[in-house]
Amino acid sequence: MQKIIDKSYVLARLGLGGMLFAFGLASLLQLAPQPQLEGAAAQYMGGLAAAGYFFPLLKVTEVLVGLALLTNRFVPLALVVLAPITLHIVAFHAALAPAGIAPGLFILATHLAVAWERRAAFEGVLQVRPPVASPVAAPAPSRPAIAQAA
């Protein structure tokens, strides 16, 4: 049973990382057409695009997070960086473009699965009041002996 859980975690991490890396890179290199949006969704995305920096920053972040997940390096950091992106994707589709919510739900599910597997990395961050570390007495600075004139 543990082998199945371990393999599921690896598949979730690789699926999430692969999706972020591939779609982020394809968007950065303009290899894939952007979906046509209508109404408020189009206005919202138009506003983000008008800023000029938002989508390049987002896509570079997705590529880097995807690379971290694919290589199994800095996974807790990648999950923290990805959290607001995941929430934004789901919220955007839930509020403005519900027809395209399936990939967002996949990202959310795999994000949560990978985070659950790495939950030990977040224990200190999730404490309401972490224990206060007792101050450690620093050793007194050593002073060189002053040569006495004879």
Structure tokens at 61: 């972040």
Torsion angle in degrees (nearest 10) through CA of 97, 102, 107, 113: 140
Cα distance between residue 115 and residue 1, in whole Å: 20
For residue 150, being part of any structural domain is answered with no
DSSP run (H or E) holding 39: helix 39-51
Please count the CA atoms within 13 angstroms of the CA of 7 that sit on its side-chain side. 4
In this prediction, residues 51-74 reach a mean pLDDT of: 96
The whole-number pLDDT of residue 78 equals 97
Q: Is the pLDDT of residue 138 over 90?
A: no
For residue 30, being part of any structural domain is answered with yes
Task: Identify whether the C-beta of residue 45 lies closer than 8 Å to the C-beta of residue 100.
Answer: no
The whole-number pLDDT of residue 105 equals 96
Q: Which residues contact 42 (CB under 8 A, 6 or more apart)?
A: 36
For residue 149, being part of any structural domain is answered with no
Domain count for the chain, please give it: 1
Q: Residue 92 is part of which domain span?
A: 2-122
Q: Is the pLDDT of residue 143 over 70?
A: no
Cα separations (Å) of 141 from 53, 135, 148? 50, 17, 21
For residue 138, being part of any structural domain is answered with no
For residue 16, being part of any structural domain is answered with yes
For residue 89, being part of any structural domain is answered with yes
For the segment 64-115, what is each residue's pLDDT rounded down to a tens digit? 999 999 999 999 999 999 999 999 999 999 999 999 899 999 999 999 999 9
The whole-number pLDDT of residue 7 equals 87
The whole-number pLDDT of residue 141 equals 63
The whole-number pLDDT of residue 29 equals 92
